[in-house]
């Protein structure tokens, strides 16, 4: 089977999280060929992979969003739009679920010039009409430049040629989900969406906090990402989530319930099962396995650890993982220096198994998560966790209604440094509690989150989707 994985902002440029899952899935399926169709922010990152690609990755097609800024119009790509095409372009700008098949045909099959359209009289007429009716008190130039910046990447991506595959599998909605739908449309093949987090909700949270978004256009940006999620859900043959609550949200966002399925994460238990308890050395060592990124809220973790050090002077914090955002990493370092905190190290990407050997418990301070592999690995290693109440962290630590295994950690509200500090203090000062939680955590991973089960479930989903697609084609 030739599987095209459509990836946005993760593998193979970034380590951890979705990237770890992706690399693990590919290496576990040597019988399949994989094509990586990857979306990155900057063309300067071309070929700068953090992973050595497995031998069954037979093609990598890179497309970069900043390349859209280099597009130029040409007199030779003048195009006369039909009334129906104008209607769907207007729906696109309004984020009112356009007929994507018409847009796919225009920009991928007929190769309508993106810049020629954005500088055309037709585009100007659409914006004038919308601005007059929807934004009567906003300067037209502000609206014009906002819409251009929003839709230039979309139209640019629609013009890229999809690689051929038997199945298209996007790891998010958004731009990646749109490209997956495009590939499936062009080559008449099945399409799967897997969401580790709810992409639309994550983008909405970012936009609401973003300083660069003009307040009058926040909802327009949010609506655009909801529109892209509808594109992915509507074209998909199967939509998977990591746990039931996220699957329910996908339905709330407009996905057909019959398409939805839950496939949880899984880890290789053998990597972590034989890690012994940490030998006493006079310190309480706390480890955070996390990308250095604002959504992981490292600053709140640093502030919570600062408060903890006033009460537990022998505590040490190890923040492991690659840096996604150099500016944010420097802000974290500045905060550590400003608070004059001792015993925090940020060694970057290291051998997590070796660090677990000298770890008493782990911590995760994220604002948003899905089903974090870092927590599963910690539990498999017999290290209880303190996490924020995001994604399915509570289910991982406390279990679901059908799970009577016990508690494997402490859950606190996100962005609450005092609650996080208090939870770390409880964990640091109760050795017997840590041992009890460690046993529960290992048991839960062995029961529900084994790697081989996850791989089998994804392969079964591929076969089911292909079987239904062939039946549909025959009928």
**pLDDT (tens digit per residue) in 126-145:** 999 999 888 888 889 999 99
Half-sphere exposure of 180 (CA within 13 A, CB side): 35
**With pLDDT > 70 as the criterion, what percentage of the chain qualifies?**
99
Residue 475 has pLDDT above 70, yes or no: no
Give the pLDDT band of residue 75 (cuts 50, 70, 90).
low
Q: Which of 191, 290, 198 is nearest to 243 (CA)?
A: 198
* pLDDT confidence of residue 440: 97
Residue 193 has pLDDT above 90, yes or no: yes
Least confident of 117-121, 292-296, 388-392, 443-447: 117-121
Q: Which domains does the chain have, with CATH numbers?
A: 2-70+161-262 (3.40.50.2000), 75-148 (no CATH), 269-449 (3.40.50.2000)
pLDDT one-digit tens code per residue, 349-362: 889 999 999 999 99
How does the average pLDDT of the chain come out, rounded?
A: 94
Residue 76 has pLDDT above 70, yes or no: no
* pLDDT confidence of residue 73: 73
Residue 411 has pLDDT above 70, yes or no: yes
Q: Which long-range contacts (CB under 8 A, 24 or more apart) does 410-415 make?
A: 410/384, 410/385, 410/386, 411/386, 411/387, 412/386, 412/387, 412/388, 413/388, 413/389, 414/297, 414/365, 414/366, 414/367, 414/388, 414/389, 414/390, 415/297, 415/300, 415/367, 415/388
pLDDT one-digit tens code per residue, 379-402: 999 999 999 999 999 999 999 888
Q: What are phi and psi of 345, to 5 degrees?
A: -125, 150
Q: pTM of the full predicted structure?
A: 0.91
């Amino acid at each position: 089977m030739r599987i095209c994985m459509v990836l946005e902002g993760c593998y193979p440029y970034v380590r951890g999280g979705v990237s770890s899952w992706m690399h693990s899935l590919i290496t576990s399926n040597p019988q399949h060929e994989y094509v990586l169709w990857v979306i990155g922010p900057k063309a300067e990152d071309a070929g700068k992979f953090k992973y050595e690609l497995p031998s069954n990755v037979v093609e990598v097609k890179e497309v970069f969003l900043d390349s859209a800024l280099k597009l130029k119009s040409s007199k030779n790509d003048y195009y006369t739009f039909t009334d129906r095409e104008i209607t769907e372009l207007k729906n696109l700008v309004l984020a009112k679920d356009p007929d994507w098949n018409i847009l796919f045909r225009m920009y991928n099959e007929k190769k309508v010039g993106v810049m020629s359209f954005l500088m055309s009289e037709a585009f100007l007429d659409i914006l004038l009409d919308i601005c007059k009716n929807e934004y009567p008190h906003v300067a037209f130039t502000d609206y014009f430049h906002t819409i251009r910046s929003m839709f230039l990447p979309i139209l640019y991506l629609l013009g890229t040629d999809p690689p051929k595959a038997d199945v298209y599998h996007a790891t998010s909605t958004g731009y990646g989900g749109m490209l997956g739908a495009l590939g499936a449309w062009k080559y008449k093949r099945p399409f799967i969406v897997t969401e580790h987090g709810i992409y639309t909700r994550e983008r909405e949270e970012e936009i609401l906090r973003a300083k660069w978004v003009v307040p009058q256009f926040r909802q327009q940006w949010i609506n655009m990402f909801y529109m892209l999620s509808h594109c992915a859900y509507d074209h998909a043959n199967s939509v998977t989530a990591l746990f039931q609550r996220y699957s329910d949200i996908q339905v709330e966002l407009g996905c057909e319930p019959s398409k939805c399925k839950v496939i949880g994460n899984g880890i290789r238990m053998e990597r972590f099962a034989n890690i012994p308890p940490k030998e006493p050395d006079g310190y309480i060592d706390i480890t955070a396995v996390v990308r250095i990124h604002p959504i992981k809220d490292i600053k709140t973790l640093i502030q919570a650890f600062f408060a903890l050090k006033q009460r537990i002077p022998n505590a040490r914090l190890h923040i492991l993982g690659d840096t996604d955002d150099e500016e944010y990493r420097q802000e974290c370092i500045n905060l550590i220096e400003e608070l004059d905190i001792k015993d925090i190290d940020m060694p970057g990407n290291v051998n997590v198994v070796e660090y677990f050997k000298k770890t008493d418990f782990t911590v995760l301070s994220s604002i948003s998560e899905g089903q974090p592999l870092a927590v599963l690995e910690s539990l498999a290693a017999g290290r209880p966790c303190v996490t924020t109440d995001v994604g399915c962290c509570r289910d991982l630590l406390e279990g679901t209604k059908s799970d009577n295994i016990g508690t494997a950690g402490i859950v606190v509200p996100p962005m609450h440094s005092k609650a996080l500090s208090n939870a770390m203090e409880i964990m640091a000062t109760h050795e017997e509690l840590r041992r009890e939680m460690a046993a529960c955590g290992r048991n839960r991973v062995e029961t529900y989150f084994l790697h081989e089960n996850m791989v089998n479930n994804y392969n079964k989903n591929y076969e089911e989707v292909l079987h239904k697609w062939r039946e549909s084609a025959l009928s």
